[in-house]
Amino acid sequence: MSQPVIVDAVRTAFGRRQGALRETRPDDLLAFAVRGLVERSGVMPEQIDDLIAGCVSQAGEQGANIGRLAVLLSGLPTRVAGVSLNRMCGSSQQAVHFAAQAIAAGDARYVIAGGVESMSRVPMFLDVTLGRFEFTGFEALNPALRQRHALVHQIESAERIAEHWGLSRADCDAFAKESHRRAHAAAEAGRHREVLPTPGLDADGRPITLVRDEGIRAVLDEARIAAMAPVMRPPGQGVVTAANASQISDGASAVLLADEATARADGLTPKARFRARVVVGSDPVMQLSGVIPATHEALRRAGIGVADLDWIEVNEAFASVALCWAREFRPDLAKLNPWGGAIAHGHPLGGTGGALLAKMLHGLEATGGTLGLQVMCIGHGMATATVIERV
């Protein structure tokens, strides 16, 4: 069996909703990340067999198989295939898993995996709202689903998680502030080697280059954070606010995977190998708690414990998700999202999985670490988890 490895991984800087990347089409954004990955890695474009792209709202500018469209826009040879998938927030992490599986099976030698979401140009849920730009509920879903399961919004699930694990509003706000603090410190120190300088526009429409994530706040208005009303529950009765949830963002990621023997023969140096690749289903009402069983399974397959990890990325869809994970596993908190997370840098749904992997890979290199875990909660009750070992 072939040994899949990660040769390199990059991402765009993330833009705020209607921010610097508001005029950049998502297919162009993904193509930009792909070109940057090819240039940085040194792989010959004609060697690439496939591109697997994660994207959640596959409608409008993100429809018509954005994976293949990105191949055509990027300048890769037309023989390079492209496919799109939707495992919701875990989409581009799943794309990496599928790419690794194709290489392990001997079906491909080089595969680019990644994803994209322009939440400015293609609003979340556009694929289930029949073209309406406002989400009004789950009317488009099969009524039988609501008879079998009490479908709730993810924000409600985040609230229920906070209740179950005894997490307060103060806990969630404190976590959010620390996310911004860490993200700002990493950006100021120039840690993010995975970020491609990304062309965009300033507020007046003038061209700029975004070299850091637009959502990171250097200074926080703590009084304003404390005064924010819960998003879905009455004041004083909920913990989830806009300040302690992930930011709606625009961005893309791209990861180059290869058969190890082929990469080394071609003069490329692998950066990491896989110790575990996991996807699990979980309760669709508490839906975001799937990060816990996914982590247990990933650690079991990798034959390690939490204490063996040097870097941990738990996607900050909501502060309560990362905090419930921490309550269960009791990690060294300095290793949990060391450069901040989606609360600070944003969460472009289909692009985040590949981006977190890229961040973790470069974080392990920067700190001399060896083992990293990435885990992401997913709508309808699922989670993806990856353990990598730096080589």
Structural domain boundaries in the chain: 273-390
| CA–CA separation, 352 and 55 (whole Å) | 10
Low-confidence ranges of the chain (pLDDT < 70): 129-137
Give the model's pLDDT for residue 222. Answer: 94
| CA–CA separation, 123 and 131 (whole Å) | 10
Question: Crossing angle, helix 319-329 and helix 291-302, to 10 degrees?
Answer: 50
Of 325, 390, 381, 313, the closest CA to residue 352 belongs to 313
**Quick count: other Cβ atoms within 10 Å of Cβ 330?**
9
| Side-chain-facing half-sphere of 166: CA atoms under 13 Å | 2
Give the model's pLDDT for residue 132. Answer: 60
CB 357 within 8 A of CB 9: yes
Q: Name residues whose C-beta falls within 8 Å of residue 279's C-beta, 6 or more positions apart in sequence.
A: 87, 90, 94, 97, 294, 382, 383, 384, 385
- Of 89, 97, 172, 324, the active-site residue reads 89
Whether 55 is catalytic:
no
**Residue 346 φ/ψ, nearest 5 degrees:** 105, 170
> How would you class 165 by CB atoms within 10 Å of its CB: exposed for 0-12, middle for 13-18, buried for 19 or more?
middle
Whether 324 is catalytic:
no
CB 349 within 8 A of CB 89: yes
| CA–CA separation, 175 and 10 (whole Å) | 26
- Of 97, 180, 345, 347, the active-site residue reads 347
**DSSP H or E stretch at residue 388:** strand 382-390
Whether 347 is catalytic:
yes
Of 98, 71, 94, 93, the closest CA to residue 82 belongs to 71
Angle CA(73)–CA(22)–CA(350) in degrees, nearest 5? 65
- Of 55, 172, 324, 377, the active-site residue reads 377
Domain range 273-390, its CATH number among 3.40.50.300, 3.30.360.10, 3.90.700.10, 3.40.47.10: 3.40.47.10
Give the model's pLDDT for residue 151. Answer: 84
**Quick count: other Cβ atoms within 10 Å of Cβ 142?**
9
pTM over 0.95: yes
Give the model's pLDDT for residue 236. Answer: 86
Of 18, 39, 69, 87, the closest CA to residue 386 belongs to 87
| CA–CA separation, 238 and 224 (whole Å) | 16
